[in-house]
């Protein structure tokens, strides 16, 4: 089949027939066996021929920016298939037939997407033209501020479910000073990004009140993704929702009860702490026994601490603007290339400069620090 053959050209999918590089696109499809179709302002390449499984899970997609407007799939696919098997490429298209400067590439495996970010960011696709490649976050979580502090999780879940659709879960943090109250905000998890986007539009300030209160709504900052291989080496526990008066020595005794001497050190900051173990096995045993249990009257949450790449962590810090002057010292890294984080919401609540995506809602985290 050739682009010059009128019969062949008429049978080509929309978005390919008549394209400036029609022959090159046809050649690409013949080589790979992938299909291609344009709809809703984007040209989709994929999925792989014979693919009959479900779509790849979250974490398999990357965002590609700074694409020259006359660069298309025939040039992009060879670059991105060099690091993994492409499930789908979505190139955003304009009415004039040129691309809009960005695309999304979904791989079949998470490790392929991570390799693409690692190896193809700043790839020189044309002389002097570097691509920008980063992880694509399919965010399904909203931040809602302005919630009465006396409301419980079940009440918030019921109220939000009345006015928005697709609610899966509500995450509420107890006040550091009074465990019977929340901190005035919650995070709402939706079944899909689309459901979250529709809810955000509906809940925008001025449209809907909850319990008669004006609310603030924004996208929640997604947690930084950590490589599974790295997580398997972690031997530090992050403990949340502690009583303010609980001491580091108490935590050392509680977490070391299954193997005396296994806790190397404890760093407690207000109502959360990091517990360092001499071995991962001891950390996992303590986590399995203590998560969801009470320590001095407060039900605690225990998870493995997430090590974050220092370079990525520094970028988040530099992106921060404003906020309170109080800071929280991050625990010393267990490895030279990593620092350990608490969840971003706790860090921001205590004035730690995290990033600007919290936006105007930052006041809900730091207003009590004065």
The arrangement of strands across the sheet holding 141-145 comes to 167-174, 182-190, 141-145, 216-219
pLDDT of residue 224: 61
Q: Return the exposure string of 77-103: e unless at least 16 CB atoms fall within 10 Å of the residue's CB, then b.
A: bebbbebbebbbbbbebeeeeebebeb
Tokens representing 47 are 């999925």
Q: Which of 287, 304, 321 is the last residue of a domain?
A: 304
pLDDT of residue 309: 55
Return the ∠ at Cα 292 (arms to 286 and 297), rounded to 5°.
105
Q: Which of 163, 189, 219 is the last residue of a domain?
A: 219
Q: Which of 135, 159, 194 is the last residue of a domain?
A: 135
Q: Give yes or no: residues 131 and 28 share one domain.
A: yes
Q: How far is CA 21 from the centre of its chain?
A: 36
Count the alpha carbons within 13 Å of 345 in the hemisphere toward its beta carbon. 24
pLDDT of residue 281: 96
H or E element: which one contains 30? helix 22-32
CB contact at 8 A, 156 and 186: yes
Q: Give yes or no: residues 296 and 258 share one domain.
A: yes
Q: Give yes or no: residues 247 and 199 share one domain.
A: no
Is 325 a domain residue? no
Q: Give yes or no: residues 154 and 215 share one domain.
A: yes
**179 SS3 class:** coil
CB contact at 8 A, 140 and 193: yes
Structure confidence by residue, pLDDT tens digits, 294-330: 999 888 999 898 776 555 545 444 433 333 322 333 3
Residues in a beta bridge with 37 = 44
Q: What is the dihedral of CA 292, 296, 297, 299, to 10 degrees?
A: -20
Q: Give yes or no: residues 208 and 233 share one domain.
A: no
**Residue 135 φ then ψ, to 5°:** -65, 140
The structure's pTM equals 0.58
Q: Which of 126, 74, 98 is nearest to 20 (CA)?
A: 98
Residues in a beta bridge with 217 = 144
H or E element: which one contains 32? helix 22-32
Count the alpha carbons within 13 Å of 155 in the hemisphere toward its beta carbon. 11
pLDDT of residue 78: 97
pLDDT of residue 59: 82
Place of tokens 């930084």: 224
Q: Give yes or no: residues 38 and 123 share one domain.
A: yes
DSSP 8-class letter at 325: S
Is 199 a domain residue? yes
CB contact at 8 A, 60 and 109: yes
> Strand pairing of 298-299 and 294-295?
antiparallel
Domain housing 269: 228-304
Is 315 a domain residue? no
Is 92 a domain residue? yes
Task: Compute how many other C-beta atoms are within 10 angstroms of the C-beta atom of residue 121.
Answer: 15
**360 SS3 class:** helix
**290 SS3 class:** helix
Q: How far is CA 299 from CA 101, 212, 293, in A?
A: 49, 30, 5
Task: Compute how many other C-beta atoms are within 10 angstroms of the C-beta atom of residue 1.
Answer: 13
Q: Give yes or no: residues 153 and 88 share one domain.
A: no
Is 73 a domain residue? yes
CB contact at 8 A, 64 and 102: yes
H helices present in 81-214, as ranges: 110-120, 153-163, 193-203
**301 SS3 class:** strand
Q: Which of 112, 113, 93, 111 is nearest to 102 (CA)?
A: 93
Q: What CATH number is given to the structural domain containing 38?
A: 3.30.70.330
Q: Give yes or no: residues 206 and 145 share one domain.
A: yes
Tokens representing 205 are 């300030």
Q: Give yes or no: residues 155 and 171 share one domain.
A: yes
Place of tokens 């789908």: 88
pLDDT of residue 222: 64
Is 320 a domain residue? no
Q: Give yes or no: residues 117 and 156 share one domain.
A: no
Tokens representing 66 are 């700074």
DSSP 8-class letter at 83: S
Q: How many structural domains comprise the chain?
A: 3
CA distance 341 to 236: 11
Is 335 a domain residue? no
Is 71 a domain residue? yes
Residues lower than pLDDT 50 in the chain: 1-7, 313, 315-370
Q: Give yes or no: residues 53 and 102 share one domain.
A: yes
Q: Give yes or no: residues 129 and 25 share one domain.
A: yes
């Amino acid at each position: 089949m050739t682009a010059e053959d009128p019969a062949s050209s008429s049978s080509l999918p929309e978005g390919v027939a008549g394209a400036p590089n029609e022959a090159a696109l046809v050649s690409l499809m013949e080589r790979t066996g992938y299909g291609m179709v344009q709809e809703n302002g984007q040209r989709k390449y994929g999925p792989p021929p014979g693919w009959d499984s479900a779509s790849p899970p979250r974490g398999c997609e990357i965002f590609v920016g700074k694409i020259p407007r006359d660069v298309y799939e025939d040039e992009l696919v060879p670059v991105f298939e060099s690091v993994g098997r492409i499930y789908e490429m979505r190139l955003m298209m304009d009415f004039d037939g040129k691309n809009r400067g960005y695309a999304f590439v979904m791989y079949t495996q998470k490790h392929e997407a991570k390799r693409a970010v690692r190896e193809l960011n700043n790839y020189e696709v044309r002389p002097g033209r570097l691509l920008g490649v980063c992880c694509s976050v399919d965010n399904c979580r909203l931040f809602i501020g302005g919630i009465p502090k006396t409301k419980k999780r079940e009440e918030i879940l019921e109220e939000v479910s009345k006015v928005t659709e697709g609610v899966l879960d509500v995450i509420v943090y107890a006040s550091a000073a009074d465990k019977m109250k929340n901190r005035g905000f919650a995070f709402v998890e939706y079944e899909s990004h689309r459901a979250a986007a529709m809810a955000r539009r509906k809940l925008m300030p001025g449209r809907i009140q909850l319990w008669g209160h004006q609310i603030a709504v924004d996208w929640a900052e997604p947690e930084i993704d950590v490589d599974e291989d790295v997580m398997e080496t972690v031997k530090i526990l992050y403990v949340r929702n502690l009583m303010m008066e609980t001491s580091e020595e108490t935590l050392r005794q509680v977490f070391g009860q299954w193997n005396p001497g296994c806790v190397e050190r404890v760093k407690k900051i207000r109502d959360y702490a990091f517990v360092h173990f001499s071995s991962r096995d001891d950390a996992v045993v303590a986590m399995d026994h203590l998560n969801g249990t009470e320590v001095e009257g407060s039900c605690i949450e225990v998870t493995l601490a997430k090590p974050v790449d220092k370079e990525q962590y520094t970028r988040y810090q530099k992106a921060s603007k404003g906020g309170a002057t109080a800071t929280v010292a991050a625990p010393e890294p267990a490895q030279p290339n990593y620092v350990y984080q608490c969840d971003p919401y706790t860090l921001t609540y205590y004035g730690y400069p995290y990033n600007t995506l919290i936006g105007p809602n930052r006041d809900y985290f730091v207003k009590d620090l004065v």
